[in-house]
Amino acid sequence: MDSLTELLHKIQSQYFPRWDVKHKYRMEMWNLPGARCNNKEKLIQVSDANDELAIIHEICHAVTRSGWHGEKWQNRFLKVADVSNILGNLQLAKAIRIEVNDIKKQLKRHTERRLTADHVNSKIQEAAFKNPNASFEDIVSFVAREHSMFSKELLKYYPKSLKRAFYRAHQDLEAEKSLRHKSGI
């Protein structure tokens, strides 16, 4: 077993002792900032193995079987904060509570004003341009997470325009590369 999966099991035994007792989930590095949970593949991906908060955040998605930051997920995350308090990890407990409050505020803003296609497309292009080796799925997941959404949810609203934005970013990258080559840079 690799060290990342061992870390996952250590955190699991501390905060989620009844979840994944057969250790079917594994953890690996991800090439985008942040982290994500893929329940279908029983995989948690992280960009920073030292970010315990992000790992716990993603385990809560696995435990609640939710890609969404709804009440069920929030309650499970807050339960970890309570356990952290008992264990004396006050910094983690505080960070979890801050994150849940931030997510609640963000969800409230999203219900007050819907995301526009232009805004989402701009975010897709920006993320693809900054991470040229990332797949379309990774970019959509990253942008969805920034908006407290699940990839499927984002794709449901903007299925074609997201792909166009992704490919437009890669066309811009190629044009820039070609221009640099012609300029001798």
Indicate the SS3 state at residue 18: coil
Q: Tens digits of per-residue pLDDT, 28-45?
A: 998 888 888 888 899 999
Q: How far apart are CA 22 and CA 16, in angstroms?
A: 13
Task: State the DSSP string of 66-133.
Answer: -SS-SHHHHHHHHHHHHHHHHHT-HHHHHHHHHHHHHHHHHHHHHHHSPPPHHHHHHHHHHHHHH-TT
The yes-or-no verdict on residue 86 having pLDDT over 90 is yes
- Report the predicted TM-score, pTM, of the whole model to 2 decimal places: 0.65
Is residue 43 helix, strand or coil?
Answer: strand
Q: Is 60 exceeded by the pLDDT of residue 114?
A: no
| pLDDT given for residue 154 in this prediction | 79
The mean predicted confidence, pLDDT, of the chain is 85
In sequence order, the β-bridge partners of residue 138 are none
- pLDDT tens digits, residue range 116-164? 777 787 888 888 878 888 888 888 888 887 776 778 877 877 778 888 8
